Chains A and B, each alone.
Chain A
Amino acid sequence: MIWNLVNYGSWIVSAALVLWMLRDWYQTDTTHSEAQLTSSREGEIEAMSEKHKI
Chain B
Amino acid sequence: MATAAETSPSTVQKISLLRVLGPAHVWALGVGIVLVGEFTGWNFSADKGGALAALIVCWLVGLLYTSVAMIDSEVTSTVAAAGGQYAQAKHIVGPLMAFNVALYLVFAYTMLEVSDAILAGDLITQVATENGAVGLNHNPFLVLSIVVLAWLNYRGILMTLNINFIITALAYASIVILFFSVQPWSQGVVLKLGEMVTPENALPYGWIGVVAAFQFGIWYYLGIEGTTQAAEEVRSPARSLPYGTMSGMITLLIAAALTWYVAASLLPWQHLGVTFFPLYDAAVATGSPILKFLMFWGTVLSALASANGCINDAGRAWFSLGRDRYLPTWFSAVHPKYRTPYRSILFLMPIALAFAFISDLNQAITFSILSGLLQYTFMSINIIMFRNKWPLGSIRRGYTHPFHPLPAVVLLVLCVVTYFAVFLGFGAQLTAMVIFYIIVSLWFHFYRYQYVRRGDQFTMPWPKPRGY
Contacts and interface: CB of A to CB of B under 8 A. Distances in A.
Chain A complexes with chain B: yes
Interface of A: 3-4, 6-8, 10-11, 13-14, 17-18, 20-22, 24-25, 28, 32-47, 50-54
A11 B140 contact: yes
Contacts of A44: 1, 4, 14, 16, 459
22 contacts: A8-B140, A10-B143, A10-B144, A13-B148, A17-B147, A20-B151, A21-B151, A25-B343, A28-B336, A38-B333, A41-B8, A41-B459, A42-B459, A44-B1, A44-B459, A46-B81, A47-B1, A47-B459, A47-B461, A52-B395, A52-B462, A53-B396
Interface string B103-140: 00000000000000000000000001001110111001
8 nearest A-B residue pairs (beta carbon): A43-B459, A3-B133, A10-B140, A37-B333, A10-B144, A14-B147, A41-B4, A39-B14
A41 B8 CA distance: 9
A47 B461 CA distance: 7
B147 A36 contact: no
B133 A4 contact: yes
A32 to B, nearest CB: 6
A38 to B, nearest CB: 5
Contacts of A18: 147
Chain B's interface: helix, strand, loop or mixed, by majority?
loop
A9 to B, nearest CB: 8
Which among A21, A39, A47 has the highest number of chain B CB atoms within 10 Å? Answer: A39
B199 interface: no
A44 B336 CA distance: 17
A9 B13 CA distance: 41
Given A7-B137, A25-B342, A32-B336, A37 B15 contact: yes
Nearest to B12: A36
B324 interface: yes
A40 B334 CA distance: 7
B396 A54 contact: yes
Contacts of B387: none
Which among A17, A28, A41, A44 has the highest number of chain B CB atoms within 10 Å? Answer: A41
A33 B8 CA distance: 13
B395 A39 contact: no
Given A28-B342, A42-B324, A21 B154 contact: yes
Contact of B346 (A4, A21, A35, A39): A21
B4 A4 contact: no
Nearest to B336: A32
Nearest to A37: B333
Contact of B336 (A6, A35, A36): A36
Contacts of A42: 81-83, 87, 232, 320, 323-324, 459
Contact of B323 (A13, A28, A40): A40
B396 to A, nearest CB: 5
A45 B332 contact: no
A36 B15 contact: yes
A15 to B, nearest CB: 8
A4 B337 CA distance: 37
A40 B332 CA distance: 7
A7 B128 CA distance: 11
